[in-house]
Structure 1
Amino acid sequence: MNSTLISREHEALFQTYKRLPVAIDHASGCRIFDTEGNVYLDFLGGIAVNALGHSHPRIIEAVEKQLRKYMHVSNYFYQEPQIQLAEKLKEMTGFDRVYFSNSGSESFEGAVKLVRKWGNARGKTVIIGFSGGFHGRTYAPLSVMDKPLYKNGMEPFLPNNRVLTFNDCEQLRANINEQTCAVALEYLQGEGGVTFATQEFADTIEELRQQYGFLLIADEVQAGGGRTGHFYGYQHRNATPDIVTMAKAIGGGLPLGAILAREHVADEWKPGMHGTTYGGNALACVAGLVVLEELERGITENVWKVGAYLTEKLQEIQQEFPEKITELRGCGMMQGVVLKGESQPIVNALLTRKVIANATSVNVVRLLPPLTITTSDVDEFIGHFRAVIAEA
């Protein structure tokens, strides 16, 4: 059955994804079941999407209830699910306004439009991003990224953007000036190897922001939604962004993104200046509300506790194989294992053991399990991971 579906996919779809050789039948919690009856331990979580795991009963219940009311009516109407979710996000984050989108790329695209509107009225036109950052695959995100695979042959990109070296304070100081409109970054980079901004780098951004008055965009699409223990990754560095972009975990498995902003920035947009047909879909919003409620009910504590346990067990493997593992990065349910060799062979070997993880930045094994995993799930993963490292 797996081979049949794979063959059909090759004939029907654009070949833009390098898929795993697994055809999904169903999934539950941190387990994925393929069409041949194999069961996989999922430490990828839909690439940080399934915060509560697969097929969470409260999400299913909320979506089924909303299905009986309506699925889509457009943003011409006032909708309780949207308003309720926005209110909860404001309450949990302290931001003033929420705009709903469908994805992380769309959220970042909107954030760039928003800061451009703000900056053009003030003579500030340059947006700065950083090496290793990932903000999406549409033109605004790509314009502040340094990913040749995503950009080659699709130029030209948006003007007045610069990509600087992540965590390089000296280069940052040399490139910030009165024309700087915004600085955009992931405080914990995902595709960039699960790499944190240093405290010095975060402090330098804030110092320059006070001096030059630019806006700060925190991309929390991957690290946000409680994945690191804090609701946002930037909280590990005591940053105070003007704008946050979100997606992934916030929808609990349904397509949902968001832009959160302070009032002085959000007020730049008037009716008609930005919009979306599907953004803030009622089904996605009721799922998102369940995610936030579950975070408040104790999932965050699980992230701290089980995340620390995962780190401890990874440290034991690193100590056992220092010639193979050079560094551990991240925290909570967003962790990276830096190898001396390439990471893809390790991820491939894990897959043969029915364990799903991810290879990124050539030599990093990225772990993005559901926030609900237990210490028993960690023990199972660690058993397989240790064996694979030992055999490498």
Structure 2
Amino acid sequence: MSSQELIEREQSVLYPIYRRLPIAIASASGCWITDLDGRRYLDLISGIGVNALGHGHPRVLEAVRQQMERYMHVSNLFYQEPQVSLPERLCRRTGYAAVVYSNSGAESWEAAIKLARRWGHRNGKTGAIITFSGGFHGRTYGALSTMDKPLYKDGMGPFLPNVEILPYNDPDALEAAITDHTCAVGLEFIQGEGGIVEATPAFVERIDLLRKRHGFLLIADEVQSGCGRTGDFFAFERFGIRPDIVTLAKALGGGLPLGAVLVSAALLDVWERGQHGTTYGGNPLACAAGCAVLDALVGDADGDAGLLVHVRNLGDRIRADLEALRAEYPWLVRSVRGRGLMLGLVLSEDATHLRDALLRRGIIANATATHVLRLLPPLILTEEEWAVALAALVDALAERATAKAADAAIQP
């Protein structure tokens, strides 16, 4: 079967809600994907940040295989060792008191705002939940209610009341909106879908100051930026701030659907048994995979394993290479954003042109926020593999420069 044959089969049965790349996957291993036509691609998007350990990591495969032979699903009516082993690792590494399971980032966010609302009703904080323009928290109704992208919301209201969406990185706008009744402030410390936009230190400092003054909850969405993506386990660690609630998913499950909400000790009496739940959340296969992911990322309880150091070092090299390209093509590359292996190349034109040029050269990247080429490679990417990607990027930019020069030459 060819790629085109599979594409045609899909078009006859699947609701067309995705903008797919013209690749039909046959297999994947490490940082590489092979399509049905036998062509190999270097994957610099890793399932939109899911495959942090690459495709088919042996530790993840073995953990899932062993658990599959025991049992695959028994429901949350029963105690299950994988459901305990994963939060033991998470709580030990992060210092949070407990974990609530979900199946995805959107479900984690839903649980977080439900928990915040319940806490608010008990503590006189029934005012707004405040989020920020450019943020992405999922496609469910609660998540959509906290986002401002028209494509995701048009014709789908009404949305949750008592939500305010403010400009990102505007501390004065935030201070003007906060009251003693504000329930929570929720944000990505690095916006992923929004174009790899990082919170400024001044913005985070004001959030922390206002939280101490007014007593609202702080919710960190670490679905894309967490689990070592930035070189720290969480993106917020760089700022010296500690959120009350943290949402996780994507990389946590090693390719299986798994989300988690990390909760501080002060919130452990907010929900009663039965007030929240999920059929599949904390699935034992996904939890086994999650344990393998965390062991590979951070090793034992004493601190960072070599992989996080690798992410920081390789991220610094990639960013330096991207800055060199910005200096060479300043009319096309406006800036470089991000840290670790969560990076964005901000262009002066629609980023799909460069994305498609890279795809023709066997490199998979992602265009987001119109002008941003987003790079979310597996955290196991090697320097040699990055050299392959960089050569393709240099060639694609040179091609674009030649085309632009030709267009300018024929202008009247």
Q: Which one of 240, 243, 249 corresponds to residue 241 of structure 1?
A: 243
Q: Secondary structure at the match of 1:12?
A: coil
Question: CA-to-partner distance for each residue in 1:17-57, whole Å, 9 max, x for gaps?
Answer: 01111100110000000011000000000000001000001
Paired position in structure 1 for 2:291? 289
Paired position in structure 2 for 1:378? 386
RMSD between aligned residues: 0.8
Gaps in structure 1 of 5+ consecutive residues: none
Question: CA-to-partner distance for each residue in 1:198-232, whole Å, 9 max, x for gaps?
Answer: 00000000010011100000000000000001000
Structure ID, larger Rg: 2
Paired position in structure 1 for 2:209? 207
Paired position in structure 2 for 1:2? 3
> Which range moved further: 217-226 or 340-349?
340-349
Q: Compute the displacement of 1:175 (Å).
A: 0.3
Q: Which one of 349, 362, 385 corresponds to residue 357 of structure 2?
A: 349
Letter of the aligned partner of 1:115 in structure 2?
A
Structure 2 length normalisation: TM-score?
0.94
Runs of 4+ in structure 1 displaced over 4 angstroms?
A: none
- Whether 2:324 is the aligned partner of 1:316: answer yes
Q: Which one of 326, 333, 343 corresponds to residue 325 of structure 1?
A: 333
- State the distance in 1 between where 2:83 and 2:314 align: 32
Letter of the aligned partner of 1:335 in structure 2?
L
- State the distance in 2 between where 1:181 and 1:335 align: 32
> Which range moved further: 266-275 or 366-375?
266-275
Q: Compute the displacement of 1:122 (Å).
A: 2.2
Paired position in structure 1 for 2:67? 66
- State the distance in 2 between where 1:63 and 1:256 align: 13
Number of residue equivalences: 392
Q: Compute the displacement of 1:316 (Å).
A: 1.4
Q: Compute the displacement of 1:145 (Å).
A: 0.6
- State the distance in 1 between where 2:333 and 2:64 align: 43
Paired position in structure 2 for 1:142? 144
- Whether 2:44 is the aligned partner of 1:39: answer no
Structure 2 contact 323–335 (Cα < 8 Å) conserved: no
Paired position in structure 2 for 1:76? 77
- State the distance in 2 between where 1:78 and 1:301 align: 36
Question: CA-to-partner distance for each residue in 1:304-342, whole Å, 9 max, x for gaps?
Answer: 111111111111111111111111000111000001111
- State the distance in 2 between where 1:267 and 1:388 align: 55
- State the distance in 2 between where 1:9 and 1:232 align: 37
Q: Secondary structure at the match of 2:70?
A: coil
Question: CA-to-partner distance for each residue in 1:269-290, whole Å, 9 max, x for gaps?
Answer: 1110000000001111111111
Q: Secondary structure at the match of 1:136?
A: coil
- State the distance in 1 between where 2:191 and 2:315 align: 18
- Whether 2:307 is the aligned partner of 1:305: answer no
Letter of the aligned partner of 1:185 in structure 2?
L
Paired position in structure 2 for 1:340? 348
- State the distance in 2 between where 1:211 and 1:142 align: 29
- Whether 2:52 is the aligned partner of 1:51: answer yes
Q: Which one of 377, 389, 392 corresponds to residue 397 of structure 2?
A: 389
Q: Compute the displacement of 1:267 (Å).
A: 2.0
Q: Secondary structure at the match of 1:68?
A: helix
- State the distance in 2 between where 1:163 and 1:153 align: 18
Q: Secondary structure at the match of 2:252?
A: helix
Letter of the aligned partner of 1:303 in structure 2?
V
Paired position in structure 1 for 2:375? 367
Letter of the aligned partner of 2:329 in structure 1?
F
Letter of the aligned partner of 1:305 in structure 2?
N
Letter of the aligned partner of 1:324 in structure 2?
L
- State the distance in 2 between where 1:169 and 1:305 align: 32
- State the distance in 2 between where 1:263 and 1:269 align: 13
Letter of the aligned partner of 1:238 in structure 2?
G
Letter of the aligned partner of 2:38 in structure 1?
G
Structure 1 length normalisation: TM-score?
0.99
- State the distance in 2 between where 1:287 and 1:193 align: 29
- State the distance in 2 between where 1:304 and 1:248 align: 20
Q: Secondary structure at the match of 1:40?
A: strand
- State the distance in 1 between where 2:107 and 2:261 align: 9
- State the distance in 2 between where 1:96 and 1:16 align: 39
Letter of the aligned partner of 2:261 in structure 1?
I
Paired position in structure 2 for 1:16? 17
- State the distance in 1 between where 2:202 and 2:399 align: 39
Letter of the aligned partner of 1:352 in structure 2?
R
Q: Compute the displacement of 1:115 (Å).
A: 0.3
- State the distance in 1 between where 2:12 and 2:362 align: 27
- Whether 2:197 is the aligned partner of 1:189: answer no
Letter of the aligned partner of 1:59 in structure 2?
V
Q: Secondary structure at the match of 1:111?
A: helix
- State the distance in 2 between where 1:24 and 1:205 align: 44
Structure 2 contact 230–339 (Cα < 8 Å) conserved: yes
- State the distance in 1 between where 2:149 and 2:86 align: 34
- State the distance in 2 between where 1:131 and 1:16 align: 24
- Whether 2:96 is the aligned partner of 1:95: answer yes
Q: Secondary structure at the match of 1:146?
A: coil
Paired position in structure 2 for 1:170? 172
Q: Compute the displacement of 1:298 (Å).
A: 1.8
Gaps in structure 2 of 5+ consecutive residues: 299-304, 401-412
